Structure 1
């Protein structure tokens, strides 16, 4: 029995040892490897995410920097084109070149784009002649130095003068700061204007975006790493090459430096040991303290290290060795405990073995064999209340616990796997965030394309082989093509061979590095168009031309405006000359007509003399009529504007023309202005219509149709007649005929005085000039054009008002003539600077029974009049030498004596207007005049 007991004991011991050495070491190693591999997997996942974040941020930085450079080139090129076109426009408006340059430079100072970026201009001496910051406007860049005493901006300007253009990096402070920041600028030399233009962007703006992306990446890594656990207390941490702890689950360690911490195992700095094993695939073995036992550096730890060159980071895992073994040790302890219990039970059972336990033990042994083979579902099946049953139950319980332990181990592995999967999901979301940033950059580029499409210029970018790399929408619309189809296409195929040949000289100059400007005539939608093309060469890092920027502006309207302005200035100059001639001629005619009348009155009985005098008087009056027409053209004729009932005026005019025009000319009229009436002088308007009708009669020697068509129009946008029409309400009067029309020369010169298309000296050439002067003096517009079928049309545009606003007609004054001057001699003061005219008028006044005292200037008359005992009236020329003209003298005398009769005379005509106000109590007598006209003016003054 004892032998059998010993044998049984040996068997049980062998079974225990077999189960232990066959399963426990394997399980412990598997659990240790799983925990250890989990640390490596977590470390590699975090490393891959950080590496991808770095690659994305570097790609974003490179793309953003290149995008900023292209934008700077475009902005400087546009600034140069803007300066050139604005300078020319300002000089065309009459500015001197220095004034125009200063005006355009002030406009550039106010130009802003992007994130408060700006344009600056410096001359060849380094003086900032256009800068939005008042601190630097007008400053010498050689005097602007930084802390180290350098003047890098001055050097940049000198380099740009030598190289023509380029990108340069230098320190410069912002508007609201005194601290210099790194800035990259594109600077280009414009030798035709003697200055350079530059614009830049601060690199810290770009670095802030990159740093923000890195901080966001670091934040996401920190949040993810804090949730990663290895074994029980293992973790991941990150430090940089300067041994600054960037991420650590311990808040006291995160953000601190640890260069002096020593590895007790090697005696070296722990940071140095970690850096040496980075990316070697080996783990660093060292000893460290525990959170619950600080300062006691005797606990074994393992760390894997990966190095990320982009961020200069070291990503590490850290786990206690005993924690990696803890699960295996726990399982082994449970197995040993269960085995010990089983052994104890076995010893008890062996005492009873001889009686009834052999069979249950055999079953138990069989079950143990099955368990040793890995079948943890095996059960003894013994149901007894004695010790054998307890032993069997204990064995079954041991197996069940073993199975539960393995199941728990599997559950933990599954949970860890799920946790790693969750972290992978976070990594995926972080990757998506970087993708969104990439899309934001793409959208920014799309906005830049939209801005280029919205610019009022045709923009194209070509490579050095003249292939199209970019076009904006305006250029594509001009050539009626799709933008996408034009890309990578030869530019000659885009614009056509003919235009490409015209442009070839600019293209060749651009390849030589020269910026050129040229003007071309084109047709767009069957309309002529004048374009100004600027070709700007673009250079690579080797200063070789690798592209050409083409800017095309439509300057058709500017050219038309320039032509119209020149025409208006020419007509104004002719008008001034005509007015001056009329004034001087009226003085001569006054002398001639007055003397002819005096001779006629003195020798009234001499019929032979009267026979010669009458043609001379008629010729003088004919000359006066010519000067009146010249004054009309010069816009100096007297006008009495009022609201005109156009229906009544047309009816009266057509009735007058019906008896004057041949029967073979048919007159038609269509009036559509019943609610709106023109505001003008009705007599002058009627004269103008009659003049135009007689011109139409001459164009229809064989008869035809003469039409008067009127309508009300409201001008709200651009309308062009002889000049641009100002917005407002107008009455349009169109006179059309079916005659021969105007020749090209007549259309160009029809409004010039003394120009006539009649032959053999017929006509004075003042008809259309008079109409032109009347229309312009009435604030109106006129246009002449040939009809498409036959004849010509003349369009008058006069300001209009509602017919309901017409003032009531004043009562007519009595036509009865006042009594002649009484016999009492009355004193008249005569003021006239022309001695011959003064002598003539003095004689006429004496013949009317006045005593006359005369002087040649208003200043002398003002000193003389207070010395006179009494004065009945004043006869004064308007234009007088000295400080006081005739109107001012008359106003002064009227304030002194409101009963004094005042008559003004002039070779010009002075309408009663806001510009040249004349008191209604004054009479205005136009030269030339005779004794009867002077007498009538005194009689009219008696009525007032």
Structure 2
């Protein structure tokens, strides 16, 4: 498998889900070379994964089908996303001819199309059924009844026949189907459009007549159905033979692929914004600190500069929160002040909560700690608040957020937790409440009662998952028409004795010659002046290449290099490697507004003395310089 596609194999998308799928799911590059496939595809073709990886799809197609396949690839590339449904005639390893209906989804890497994810379905049986029905309805009734597709015959918009699979798929009996109106089984909001398209397809001369729509299950849940229509005669009158397939799971999977790619794009965008924004903040913080040195104490000027510094720190925390929600973070459990996380998250959300919703909060910050991942807790709080706000968007209402301590004596139903002290978050809304029949399904993935493209139905299922993995439990109190209360509880962590080594800092001032590298002019100016105030001789460079040139003129003259990470032409990481190649003992400090290529651990492995996130304060930089120089006397 080509190196650049390793991260796009089906296993990395969702191996467990795909291998349970009865559909054939495969991945090939833009030239048709197979990269991967799930078990269903390998079993159908009679191939091993290694055999498939050495093949091009053209070797499986009959010669007459190759042009159609190439046309489908061109269609996907032109659309930039997906192809329509296409049928192919394939030859398996055993020489057996099978028919497959496929749909391709374009996969991007680094914002460029690189591969196609195909979802295929063996329709050999369906093709045989269609041919059989044209010859004799009675002779092949057994095939219809044992088909994996639901099959109905519609005549003048009335259902005249339904097979057993339709009963399984929708929960309705054959008696309820026969002589029932076809429109009664279509979701109300698009019923007229579906009926109009259905009538047009029945009377058209298209070879393949396919339509997708939302249908009703008897238990009032929606299913997404794909219907293929064949024009026939039934009792000497025109009718439509309709093959129906439940494609709900397939559509949900497509949504997950799209959502994953969208979040990757958002993560890339927010990372770039974070880098630039933190550079701006860095210049503000350093200039404010130097200004603070130059003003008298207990004056309006001193107060104003202190406020600038406080606001800068708030802005930095906001950037960190945006990055937390836009990228996949490594789960790291640690003791956390639950109340502080809730307050910070509420601050972030307050501007997007409608003014018609009154917020009451009782969130003590000294109630105790919980052991959890901070990003997961923030996501859980956001999802719960968004859920409450959605319930009240139409008419407004009251949102009450309370944090308290409870004693748990026995594990609640559905959760395996230990008795003891717990910290409980209660989020109460005065919305419409949840219908009793929906209560048991609110934590199911993709379940939602709100018809909106912005709602994936994943919010509460994610909350349930976060609560479970962090050893907590969740409870829902609901009264339809009155409102809902979600209570989530986590074990309270007993206060741990923390040994903090207090370093008696020497004077911040030092001596030595520093090469300071950054591509942001404002930071070069502020950084140079700050370091000079600390007593250092400073040489600046506005790029990695310029810094390399200056250093190589006299490598031994520099005591330390401080460099930004993200710079054009030569990054801080590349610069560090080049400088160490010339002088391995050179102390280097790397600074970053945001980069996924560097971390404290990676920096340490590279022999870099310190890694500092922007915006940094004077104390932080002074400490890093002293430590870096002390390691290289």
TM-score (norm 1): 0.38
Q: Given that residues 187 and 214 in structure 2 are in contact (C-alpha distance below 8 angstroms), is that contact kept between their aligned partners in structure 1?
A: no
- C-alpha distance in 2, partners of 1:519/1:498? 12
Q: Would you say 1:618 and 2:311 are equivalent positions?
A: no
Counterpart check, 1:938 vs 2:625: yes
Q: Which runs of no fewer than 5 residues in structure 1 stay unpaired?
A: 1-85, 114-128, 141-172, 178-183, 189-196, 201-443, 655-660, 716-731, 753-771, 804-808
Instruction: Return the alpha-carbon distance in structure 2 between the equivalents of residues 922 and 102 of structure 1.
Output: 42
Deviation, structure 1 residue 841: 0.9
Q: Which deviations, in whole Å up to 9, do the C-alpha atoms of 1:628-665 show, x marking residues without a partner?
A: 3123222389999654468xx669999xxxxxx99988
Where is the helix percentage greater, Structure 1 or Structure 2? 1
Q: Does the alignment pair 1:516 with 2:201? A: no
Given the superposition, is the C-alpha separation of residues 450 and 862 from structure 1 closer, same or farther in structure 2, using an over 3 Å criterion?
Answer: farther
Once the 2 structures are TM-superposed, how far is the Cα of residue 890 of structure 1 from its aligned partner?
3.1
Picking from 503, 508, 533, the partner of 1:847 is 533
Change (3 A) 1:662 1:834: closer
- Determine whether 1:553 maps to 2:245: yes
Query: Which structure 2 residues correspond to residues 263-412 of structure 1 after superposition, within 5 A?
Result: none
Q: Quote how far apart the aligned CAs of 1:905 are.
A: 1.7
Aligned to 2:486: 793
Q: 1:741 to 1:879 in 2, by over 3 A?
A: farther
Shift of 1:712: 12
Give me the whole-angstrom Cα distance separating, in 2, the residues matched to 1:899 and 1:481: 77
- Cα distance 1:735–1:935, how it changes in 2: closer, same or farther (>3 A)? same
1:541-591 CA-to-partner distances (Å, cap 9, x unmatched) read: xxx986632111223334445556656655655554444333223222322
Contact 1:668 1:707 in 2 (8 A): no
**Which string of whole-angstrom CA distances, capped at 9 and with x for unpartnered residues, describes residues 734-786 of structure 1?**
73233547999xx999x99xxxxxxxxxxxxxxxxxxx9xx99xx99x99999
1:533: which partner in 2? 227
Q: Deviations over 1:888-915 (max 9, x none)?
A: 433554566565432222222669769x
Quote the offset at 1:878 in angstroms. Answer: 1.0
CA distance in 1, matches of 2:186, 2:295: 86
Q: Secondary structure at the match of 1:594?
A: helix
Is 1:598 the counterpart of 2:598 in the alignment?
no
User: Which one of 515, 529, 544 corresponds to residue 829 of structure 1?
Assistant: 515
Which protein has the larger Cα radius of gyration, Structure 1 or Structure 2? 1
- Residues 513 and 557, structure 2, Cα contact 8 Å, conserved in 1: yes
| Cα displacement (A) at 1:175 | 9.7
How far apart are the structure 1 equivalents of 2:254 and 2:94?
A: 44
* Residue of structure 2 in register with 1:580 after alignment: 272
Structure 2 distance, partners of 1:868, 1:528, is 70
**Alignment correspondent of 2:604:** 919
Q: How many residues align?
A: 473
Alignment of 1:71-82 (within 5 A): none
Q: Secondary structure at the match of 1:881?
A: coil
Instruction: Determine if contact 2:152/2:159 at 8 Å carries over to the other structure.
Output: no
Q: Name the CA shift for 1:815/1:504 in 2 (closer, same or farther; >3 Å).
A: closer
Deviation at 1:845, TM superposition (A): 1.5
Are 1:589 and 2:281 matched, yes or no?
yes
CA contact 1:894–1:900 (8 Å) conserved in 2: yes
Higher strand share: 2
Q: 1:928 matched to which residue of 2?
A: 615
SS at match of 2:210: strand
* d(CA) in 1 for partners of 2:401, 2:509: 59
Q: CA deviation at 1:139?
A: 9.2
Q: What displacement does 1:850 show?
A: 1.7
Choose which of 524, 530, 541 in structure 2 pairs with 1:838: 524
Task: After superposition, give the CA deviation of every residue in 1:125-163 in whole Å (9 maximum; x if it has no partner).
Answer: xxxx967477777599xxxxxxxxxxxxxxxxxxxxxxx
Pick the aligned partner of 1:815 from 497, 502, 511. 502
Q: Rate the CA distance shift 1:796–1:925 in 2: closer, same or farther, 3 A.
A: farther
Query: Aligned in 2, Cα 1:481/1:619: closer, same or farther, shift over 3 Å?
Result: closer
Instruction: Call closer, same or farther: CA 1:534–1:447 in 2, change over 3 Å.
Output: closer
In structure 2, C-alpha distance between the alignment counterparts of 1:565 and 1:581, rounded to whole Å: 25
1:474 aligns with 2:160: no
Q: Distance in 2 between matches of 1:912 and 1:810?
A: 32
Say whether 1:873 aligns with 2:560: yes
Task: Report the counterpart of residue 420 of structure 1 in structure 2.
Answer: none
SS in 2 for 1:874: strand
Q: 1:630 — aligned with what?
A: 319
- Following superposition, the deviation at residue 876 of structure 1 comes to 0.6
Q: Deviations over 1:7-43 (max 9, x none)?
A: xxxxxxxxxxxxxxxxxxxxxxxxxxxxxxxxxxxxx
Q: What is the RMSD of the two structures over their aligned residues, measured on CA atoms?
A: 6.8
What are the ranges of 5 or more consecutive residues in structure 2 without an aligned counterpart? Answer: 1-22, 47-56, 69-90, 102-121, 126-138, 343-358, 390-396, 417-421, 435-449, 456-461
Whole-angstrom CA distance in 1 between matches of 2:381 and 2:159: 64
